[in-house]
């Protein structure tokens, strides 16, 4: 949405730049709308047109008949499409996965756990804990990550020093202790 405002504030804006900014704004608005509202697939073209017209009517685009170029879906949109029930998915051809190549970790598995950090085998990121990173950066949960890299259940997903410190804090505040009867 800010890109549209930026385009309007600059003096030398081409119609193409303005159109691209408008399309970005439309896609952001509709992505937010679709994530919180249930929308039938047949309604999407109408929603796109209505949103585009509404934005165009506010001086955000001069040419309302310019072609709409679809933007590639974000990871969140791809995930929503993949998780949709079979009846709601479109009749498009399924996306074929490229042939699987032998996976090469960013660092050797034996070097992925240090006292203060654990290293992501996907990208080499050094973290105290991998769980959130795996989901946000690679869309993997711990189980899928372990399976992908053939890791045992005992392979740590948090830095040993971090785990130890959290354990100490939990004991200090009394977590895990049996409750006293009243």
Boundary-marking domain end, from 70, 101, 122: 70
Choice between 128 and 60, residue whose per-residue pLDDT is larger = 128
- CATH number for the domain that contains residue 168: 1.10.10.1550
Banded model confidence at residue 149, pLDDT cuts 50, 70, 90: very high
Q: CB neighbours of 82 closer than 8 A, spacing ≥ 6?
A: none
Tell me the residue range of the domain where 38 lies: 2-70
Choice between 182 and 1, residue whose per-residue pLDDT is larger = 182
Looking at the domain assignment, is residue 113 inside a domain? yes
* Number of domains observed in the structure of the chain: 2
Looking at the domain assignment, is residue 95 inside a domain? no
Looking at the domain assignment, is residue 123 inside a domain? yes
pLDDT digits (tens, 9 = 90+) for 13-51: 567 777 888 888 888 888 888 888 888 888 888 888 888
Boundary-marking domain end, from 55, 70, 85: 70
Looking at the domain assignment, is residue 75 inside a domain? no
What is the value of pTM for the model shown? 0.45
Boundary-marking domain end, from 40, 70, 100: 70
**Whole-number Cα distances in Å, 121 to 20, 125, 158, 164:** 37, 8, 13, 23
Choice between 10 and 133, residue whose per-residue pLDDT is larger = 133
Residue 135 to residue 94: CA distance in whole angstroms: 24
């Amino acid at each position: 949405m800010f890109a549209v405002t930026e385009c309007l504030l600059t003096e030398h804006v081409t119609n193409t730049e303005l159109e691209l900014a408008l399309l970005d704004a439309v896609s952001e608005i509709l992505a937010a709308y679709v994530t919180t509202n249930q929308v039938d697939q047949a309604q999407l073209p109408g929603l796109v047109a209505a949103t585009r017209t509404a934005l165009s009517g506010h001086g955000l685009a001069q040419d309302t008949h310019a072609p709409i170029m679809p933007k590639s879906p974000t990871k969140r949109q791809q995930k929503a499409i993949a998780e949709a029930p079979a009846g709601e998915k479109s009749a498009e051809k399924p996306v074929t996965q490229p042939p699987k190549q032998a996976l090469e970790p960013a660092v050797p598995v034996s070097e992925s756990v240090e006292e203060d950090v654990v290293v992501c085998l996907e990208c080499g990121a050094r973290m105290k804990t991998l769980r959130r990173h795996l989901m946000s950066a690679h869309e993997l949960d711990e189980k899928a990550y372990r399976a992908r890299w053939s890791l045992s259940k005992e392979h740590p997903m948090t830095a040993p020093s971090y785990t130890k410190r959290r354990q100490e804090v939990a004991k200090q505040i009394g977590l895990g202790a049996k409750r006293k009867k009243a």
